[in-house]
Amino acid sequence: MSAGRINESIIGDRMDGKLYIPYSTACECCVMAKYCLKGNDMYGVLDWAVEAYKKWEIDGRPECVNPDILNYYLISSSIYTGENFKTFGSNYQDYTEKFVRYYHLIRNELFELEKERVTDVLEMYYYLERKQVENDFRYLCKYGVSSTLTKYLKCRYQTNNLFYRILMPFKEEDINSEPFIKLYHDVLYDDEILKIKTISSVNKNDRRSRSGQVNWITASDAVKYFDALNTRIESFTGFSTKTAELYQIVNYGLGGHYLPHNDPFLKGTENSMFGNRLVTVLFYLTDVPNDGYTVFPRKNIIAPTEKGAALVWQNLHMSNGEINYETLHGSCPLLKGNKWRIEADVVVLLGNSRENWEKQLLQEKMRVQRKAYHKFVAGGWGDKQVVKKQRMRRRRKQG
Ligand SMILES: O=C(O)CCC(=O)C(=O)O
Ligand SMILES: [Fe+2]
């Protein structure tokens, strides 16, 4: 690179439309960006500036890389190519991937500098990112394979420290560790499935993002039919269903799908009384072999639709209650058969006090344990009755 000559080994080769860089340092990449800018090759500027960032991230920032100049390369080329994206050049897919990959780096730069029209470019990034997620979603639905068991992802009989589960443990399968996703096999019984299907009169729902027939189970039906199911949910999630939302039943016919989304409400739009959706529990009421998966495009994960199983995941970070965006998920378009599922969103009291988050989580867990203890050790009573009985016994003793 000395004496103004560029090391030939870094001049990239374009193979299959992709930039191939055998070896280069962050300094060399910066120089390449500079020359591309001189030659008005704004896509080249972007490629090399981003590549410089990549090297910088891995190897640390060398002296020769001036962050201001690198910012300038990124901003100018982003604005320029951002405009061009609207007309979709032939390399659209390639650039989409690149943008999405480096989005977090570029975004910070843009925010820091607050240059004019930055929002335009940001909007373009958001748009491309959404597009990318949809592409990943479709790809997963078409070609995804279920993950296999590894050292960290196992199957086990799970009692969750509940005495009565020693006799009938859950069949728990790890699907992913971070975010936590698990599949519980055989937790919904045939008679329950029949009951659910019978009481669910269907309402047509034709929103574009979700084509399935949706039905909400009324509060009175929930009490009548699903008390045992609530207890089961509490046993495997460890959280109380006291503030959970009503069950939502969906029947997907052919082509039925649900585009990728996150279940929790965005910051500030949570239920002011009850908080946000901490855990999602999806029960499958039908077997749909090799189809109709629930997929997590950010994690490259597919979950099979297995009759009687429940897929469970945590939507919020346990440390602070913030949304875990990695839990983005959707339901693949159904190409054959018929998929029924029932969803329970377990909500945890956040109220207005995020500072109390940890305390609240602990309280919810304790409430579930107390209830389990009273129900199965103290002889089949719910919380309230036990407390009442204990109070009466104490009074009798005192008086
Ligand atoms: O049915 C599925 O597989 C996913 C449903 C879902 O994500 C939802 O209802 O929020
Ligand atoms: Fe969902």
* Residue 39, φ and ψ in degrees, nearest 5: -90, 10
Nearest residue CA, atom 5 of ligand 1?
Answer: 331
> Under the phi-then-psi rule, with left for phi > 0, alpha for psi from -120 to 50, and beta for the rest, what region is 101?
alpha
Q: Residues of the chain with pLDDT > 90: what percent? A: 16
Burial 248-280 (b: 16+ CB within 10 A, else e): bbbbbeeebbbbbebbbeeeeebeeebbbbbbb
- Output the pLDDT for position 339: 84
Q: Is 274 in contact with 243 (CB distance < 8 Å)?
A: yes
The ligand minimizing its distance to the Cα of 331 is: 1
Atom of ligand 1 nearest to the CA of 212: 1
**Tens of pLDDT along 373-386?**
776 655 444 445 55
Report yes or no: 174 and 152 within 8 Å, Cβ to Cβ: yes
Mean pLDDT of 177-204: 83
pLDDT of residue 306: 93
What is the distance in A from the centroid of ligand 1 to the CA of 130?
18
Spacing, Cα 396 to ligand 1 middle (Å): 52
Measure 331 CA to ligand 1 centroid, in angstroms. Answer: 6
84: tokens are 């061009």
Question: What average pLDDT does this structure show over 23-27?
Answer: 73
| pLDDT greater than 50 at residue 119 | yes
Q: What is the pLDDT of residue 108?
A: 58
- pLDDT exceeds cutoff 50 at 264: yes
pLDDT of amino acid 176: 93
The pLDDT of 7-28, averaged and rounded, is: 48
Q: Ligand 1: which atom is nearest the Cα of residue 343?
A: 9
* Ligand 1 atom having least distance to the Cα of 311: 3
What pLDDT score was predicted for residue 83? 41
What is the chain's mean pLDDT, rounded?
74
Q: Which two tokens mark 82? A: 């951002």
Instruction: Please tell me if the CB atom of residue 345 comes closer than 6 angstroms to any atom of ligand 1.
Output: no
Rounded Cα distance, 248 and 281, in Å: 11
User: Which of the pair, 299 or 392, is modelled with greater confidence?
Assistant: 299
The ipTM (two decimal places) reads 0.98
pLDDT digits (tens, 9 = 90+) for 234-259: 888 888 888 888 888 888 887 788 88
Q: How far apart are the first and last CA of the chain?
A: 95
Long-range residue pairs from 135-139, CB within 8 A, at least 24 positions apart, any chain: 135/96, 136/297, 136/298, 136/300, 137/259, 137/260, 137/295, 137/297, 137/330, 137/332
Name the residue with higher pLDDT: 167 or 89. Answer: 167
Q: How far is the CA of 17 from the centre of ligand 1 (A)?
A: 37
pLDDT interval class at 221 (50, 70, 90): confident
Prediction pTM value: 0.66
Distance CA 73, CA 62 (A): 17
- Within 8 A by CB and 6+ apart from 156, the residues are 172
For ligand 1, say whether the CB of 176 is within 6 Å of any of its atoms.
no
Give the integer Cα–Cα distance in Å for 31 and 73: 11
For the chain, give the percent of residues with pLDDT over 70.
Answer: 70
74: which 2 tokens? Answer: 């990124």
CB 128 within 8 A of CB 116: no
13 confidence band (pLDDT: 50, 70, 90): very low
Contact call for residues 327 and 315 (beta carbons, < 8 A)? yes
Which ligand has the minimum distance to the alpha carbon of residue 256? Answer: 1
Task: Please work out whether the CB of residue 341 comes within 6 Å of at least one atom of ligand 1.
Answer: yes
In this structure, are residues 48 and 30 in contact, taking their beta carbons and an 8 Å threshold?
A: yes
